[in-house]
């Protein structure tokens, strides 16, 4: 029963955590972001929202230590898999608790509990519960998490990878990716030349590098490529990459007042 009025919003791990320090959330900023979302929903009560967040300094540090993204085979790697799950879950619980403070009806759908992949591609994921949540005024929450894989044993899915699969089934109107950087830059890391628009079919230039901090799912280059693929597969979708580090910036983006990089 979902339709094109659904909006996907990601709160990036670089935004809501200190990615240079293991398991370091920024609760005051997270609450500010969720208050912006609540303010927008009060003014737009019919808007359906699917919320995602990165794992930042939670999942990425543990995942890099155990190389979980590449596969899980040995007993030690399976113990690492569980540790990554635990770390990612900690941040998710922080987001849920702060969402309650903001008056949001959040309900979590951990990928580790329902997604089965095969060599890094989604094989099974029953999306009916997520769709039912959307249809009944709740805000489903997904996040970067470990998943069981039929070839790799286990691996990690980023929020963007989850969004890509969800977009095919739910057909969002917009996907907003709120991060620490104000846009995609042509001169990263100097960040003096923001790119305002990237066509969905454009070849990625060599200046789109991985992030400076630990990010086992690829950083900005991977993010842009994944969102281009989403726009190619779903022609009605637009994606915006922007910053929401200051109060009100997320609200402005939700309202369609663009400040970052548009992929469409």
CA-closest candidate to residue 57, choices 16, 17, 10: 17
Work out the burial of residue 206: count CB atoms within 10 Å of its CB; fewer than 13 is exposed, 13-18 middle, 19 or more buried: exposed
Alpha-carbon distance of 229 to 238, in angstroms, equals 11
**Domain of residue 92, residue span:** 6-263
In a domain, 190, yes or no: yes
Percent of the chain with pLDDT over 70: 92
**How do residues 65-109 score in pLDDT, each as one tens digit?**
889 999 999 999 999 999 999 999 999 999 999 999 999 999 999
In a domain, 44, yes or no: yes
- Per-residue confidence at 1, pLDDT binned at 50, 70, 90? very low
Res 207 pLDDT > 50: no
H helix or E strand, kind and range, residue 38: helix 27-43
- Per-residue confidence at 206, pLDDT binned at 50, 70, 90? very low
- Per-residue confidence at 138, pLDDT binned at 50, 70, 90? very high
Alpha-carbon distance of 123 to 134, in angstroms, equals 23
In a domain, 121, yes or no: yes
Alpha-carbon distance of 74 to 193, in angstroms, equals 45
Backbone angles phi, psi at 178, to 5 degrees: -90, 125
In a domain, 133, yes or no: yes
In a domain, 21, yes or no: yes
- pLDDT attached to residue 213: 52
Alpha helices in 74-218 (DSSP H): 75-101, 111-114, 128-135, 159-170
Contact call for residues 198 and 228 (beta carbons, < 8 A): yes
Contact call for residues 38 and 204 (beta carbons, < 8 A): no
The enclosing domain of 76 has a CATH number of 3.40.1160.10
More confident residue, 217 or 178: 178
The total domain count for the chain is: 1
Residue with tokens 């628009």: 197
Q: How far is CA 46 from the centre of its chain?
A: 22
Contact call for residues 40 and 121 (beta carbons, < 8 A): no
Per-residue tokens: 154: 């286990």
Half-sphere exposure of 239 (CA within 13 A, CB side): 28
In the predicted model, what is the mean pLDDT of residues 235-262? 94
* DSSP-assigned letter for residue 108: E
Res 40 pLDDT > 50: yes
Contact residues for 61 (Cβ-Cβ < 8 A; gap 6+): 22, 23, 87, 214
- pLDDT attached to residue 11: 98
Alpha-carbon distance of 264 to 260, in angstroms, equals 13
Secondary structure class of 217 (helix, strand, coil) = coil
Contact call for residues 159 and 145 (beta carbons, < 8 A): no
Contact call for residues 141 and 96 (beta carbons, < 8 A): yes
In a domain, 201, yes or no: yes
In a domain, 62, yes or no: yes
Dihedral-angle region of residue 197 (phi above 0 means left; psi in -120 to 50 means alpha; beta otherwise) = beta
- pLDDT attached to residue 60: 78
- pLDDT attached to residue 254: 97
pTM reported for the whole predicted model: 0.91
Per-residue tokens: 260: 């970052």
In a domain, 1, yes or no: no
């Amino acid at each position: 029963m979902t339709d094109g009025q659904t909006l996907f919003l990601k709160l990036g791990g670089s935004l809501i955590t200190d990615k240079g320090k293991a398991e370091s959330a920024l609760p005051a900023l997270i609450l500010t972001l969720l208050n912006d979302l609540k303010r927008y929903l009060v003014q737009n009560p019919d808007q359906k929202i699917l919320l995602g967040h990165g794992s930042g300094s939670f999942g990425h540090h543990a995942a890099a230590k155990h190389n979980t993204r590449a596969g899980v085979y040995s007993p030690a790697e399976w113990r690492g898999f569980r540790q990554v799950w635990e770390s990612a879950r900690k941040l998710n619980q922080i987001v849920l608790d702060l969402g309650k403070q903001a008056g949001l009806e959040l309900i979590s759908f951990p990928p580790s509990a329902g997604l089965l992949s095969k060599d890094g591609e989604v094989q099974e994921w029953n999306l009916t519960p997520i769709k039912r949540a959307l249809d009944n005024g709740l805000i489903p929450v997904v996040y970067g998490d470990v998943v069981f894989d039929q070839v790799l044993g286990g691996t990690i899915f980023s929020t963007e990878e989850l969004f890509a699969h969800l977009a095919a089934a739910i057909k969002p109107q917009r996907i907003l990716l709120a991060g620490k950087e104000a846009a995609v830059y042509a001169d990263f890391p100097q960040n003096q030349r923001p790119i305002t628009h990237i066509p969905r079919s454009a070849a990625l230039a060599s200046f789109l590098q991985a992030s400076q901090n630990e990010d086992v799912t690829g950083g900005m280059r991977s993010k842009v490529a994944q969102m281009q693929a989403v726009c190619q597969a779903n022609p009605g979708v637009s994606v915006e990459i922007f910053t929401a580090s200051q109060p009100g910036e997320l609200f402005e983006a939700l309202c369609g007042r663009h400040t970052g990089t548009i992929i469409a």
